[in-house]
Amino acid sequence: MATTTTTKPTSNKDETLNGVVERITYHAPDSGFTVAKMQVKGFRDLVAIIGNFPNIQAGMTLSVQGYWYDHPKHGQQFQVKNYTESKPATLTGIEKYLGSGLIRGVGPVTAKRIVAYFQLDTLEIIENQIERLVEVPGIGKKRVKMIQDTWAEQKAIKDVMIFLQGHGVSTTYAVKIFKQYGNNAIAIVSENPFQLAIDVHGIGFATANQIAIQLGISPWSKYRYKSGVLHILSQAAEDGHCFLPLPELVNEAVELLSFDDFDADKEAVRQIVTDMVESEELKVEVAEGEMWLCYKPTFYYTEANLAKLLLKHLEKPVTVDLKRVANWIERYTKSKKIKLSPQQTEAVIKAVSSRVMVLTGGPGCGKTFTQETLTSLWQAMGKKIGLAAPTGRAAQRLGEMTGLEAKTLHRLLEFDPKKMGFKRDKDNPLPFDAVIVDEASMVDLFLAHSLIKAVAPDCQLLLVGDCDQLESVGPGKVLTDLLESGKIPVVKLTQVFRQAASSAIIRNAHQINQGQYPKLEPISHKPKSDCLLHPGGSKPEDSVEAIALLLTDFIPKQGFDPRNDVQVLCPMTKGLVGTRNLNQVLQQLLNPSHPDKPEVTAMGKTIRVSDRIIQLRNDYNRDIYNGDLGVVKGINHIEKSLTIQVNDRDVEYDFADLNEVALAWSISIHKSQGSEYPVVIMPISMSHYVMLSRNLVYTGLTRAKKLTIIVGDSKAIGIAVKQGHRRQRYTRLVERLSEKTQISF
């Protein structure tokens, strides 16, 4: 009679175990680190295996090589060094293999039906006669086609996955690489892995560099140096810069390219930059003192052409009878029983008589009513008006204010995913006589260029925005540059109206702008102010606890719904009081796991139905853009997809695309621009020191419509209020509009 092993030997000697994966205890998609339980022949209990598996699912039959060791907490485990996969040979194994999620269109229930019908011939049928799956009750031709496509894709990417597995690339990125390059994936990656950083979203220089090291590519490789330079410029663009001065670019590239005992050479980097300029992979402009300013070509040409188009647009004068305009304003305000301030009157008159104008000012200064008055005036003049804003929420507010249809800028300009560009341009301009763009501080270099290209020569343009808010998430500081250039007519509203001044939020916003410490009421059970201070605590974890208590106790008592009315805004993403950690805490607090609530864990994050979600990048195919907020409405494990409601419409995402979204119970202040919320909770602490600035706090504070609660200490708030911009963005739009730029080459 055969004996059954009940305990496992402990040894450093390599062994081989063969078995079927029963369940996955833990799997990190990025690193592949996995803890799983495997049924091994000869062992009564399941064996715990630990190792790196780029793609592991319950039901897989594995042969694993490794050694036993004693874990101080979890007992004996098998450390896997290498493994091979074979197809399961038992009915149970086949059923688990098919239903593991590996094949889109087949869940556990469908897998059970297929195996019950075809028994041990199941895999042979799928491999060679997949059309026979229609014989299985409940499976139609559409489902068979989905299974067939996924099965073929899994087979095709197997070689790519095996190759990349040995070079530290996760399964998810392996699939993306295969979709990008197809059967040429291995050849391209082997020759120049740094191409991945350019072509595949989510793979940056660090990952490409790691692959290159393991492939034995020389650290002096021109591909590596070029990729490093482009990576530095891409990172600079994420910080809002349009270019970098050569010394800064070289220093950052040397730091990036050096590792272990290898020090990158400054002169080599300079030579690569020179080579890239000659091959037109970079553009250089010579500034004062013979300083080289290094651009990616798209940034250079976009900035230069934006200035050229603006100057050309300004050349054409606007003819208008100002006396008739003044009479109309008098009649209009009398009929509305309101009175425009002198600044508002000036703004309306200047806008109606200018080709391009900027209207700016803080909260409560009348930007809204000025726009409403101007819109009515243009309508009275018979002009066709286009209204837009960078975000869906801002566009919705603009439409409600004017009574006209307002769109996001991307929809106004009619983005075409097929050509990855806008349909509206100089050859097909916008069909309007006047265009108003609200929240213009959010408009970055590229969107501004696309807008100006699409404005017809006879069209008038009004840009409205608060120049004291944070600059755009994307590169450039267009609104600020237009104000500083002196070339664009500007009206800045400064008078705070009496009704608005009754709000402590608005009063404090203007105090912060003037560098004064805001008057914040200490939080109490019956607050008299709409701008409150919770002291948080001496440690970051105290602030996290304070935010949790506010949401569970104080907020409901004030008549607000913590799930739908409140937005937590943070200066940073990292740290205990950053968006990443707070999202985990708030998800468990506001939308905890429940057996009846579907959820998915992928791309290192867990997302549940009813979770609040934010889009992290522009997705033109889905017509969703960086910063758009949504709510998860459904998760389909068979289809491997989830449905997110964004801007009042349902959008489908594959699980593999979840790196494009993040939880949004807490978001950065930068991402909150253009949005308003009934209640804002904003932690401000010394742990945020590197990000603290006046316009950061000002922007966060003014996102609230009814109540702002700052959680933090007075020292951090004081530093933020006194601190202007942490770092000015590198742009040359002011110089180009002033025609002070030197010749580029």
Q: Which residues are annotated as a binding site?
A: 364-368
Helical packing angle, 91-98 and 108-118, nearest 10°: 140
**Cα–Cα dist 381/322, whole Å:** 12
* Interacting residues of 336 by C-beta distance below 8 A, sequence separation 6+: none
DSSP class per residue in 251-286: HHHHHHH-BTTB---HHHHHHHHHHHHHTTSSEEEE
Q: DSSP letter at 90?
A: S
Q: Residue 178 CB: number of other CB atoms within 10 A?
A: 21
* DSSP-based three-state secondary structure for 678: strand
Q: State the residue for tokens 């149970």.
A: 92
Q: Is 33 strand, coil or helix? A: strand
Cα gap 576→125, rounded to integer Å: 52
Candidates 643, 645, 726, 652; CA nearest to 692 is: 726
- For 615, how many CA atoms within 13 A lie in the half-sphere containing its CB? 22
Residue 111's nearest CA partner among 638, 677, 622 is: 638
CA dist., res. 171 & res. 371, Å (int): 51
Give binding residues for ATP as ranges.
364-368
Burial class (CB in 10 A: 0-12, 13-18, 19+), 315: exposed
Tell me how crowded residue 651 is: count the other CB atoms within 10 A of its CB.
18
Residue whose entry in the numeric block shows the structure tokens 């647009």: 313
Please state whether beta strands 415-416 and 421-422 pair in parallel, antiparallel, or not at all (unpaired). antiparallel
Please answer whether residues 436 and 371 qualify as being in contact, where contact means their C-beta atoms are separated by less than 8 angstroms.
yes
Q: How far from the centroid of its chain's Cα atoms is residue 115's Cα?
A: 42
Q: Which strand (E) or helix (H) includes residue 226?
A: helix 222-238
φ, ψ for residue 536, nearest 5 deg: 70, -100
Pairing of strands 385-389, 406-408: parallel
Give the pairing type, strands 677-684 and 704-712.
parallel
Taking the C-alpha atoms of residue 646 and residue 628, their distance in angstroms, rounded to an integer, is: 7
- Residue 735: alpha-carbon gap to chain centroid: 31
Q: Which H/E stretch holds residue 131?
A: none
CA distance 227 to 205: 7
DSSP of 431-489, one letter per residue?
S-SEEEESSGGG--HHHHHHHHHHS-TT-EEEEEE-TTS---SSS--HHHHHHHHS-S-
Annotate 133-202 with DSSP letters as a single string: GGGSTT--HHHHHHHHHHHHHHHHHHHHHHHHHTTT--HHHHHHHHHHHGGGHHHHHHH-TTHHHHHSTT
What is the rounded end-to-end Cα distance, in angstroms, of the chain? 85
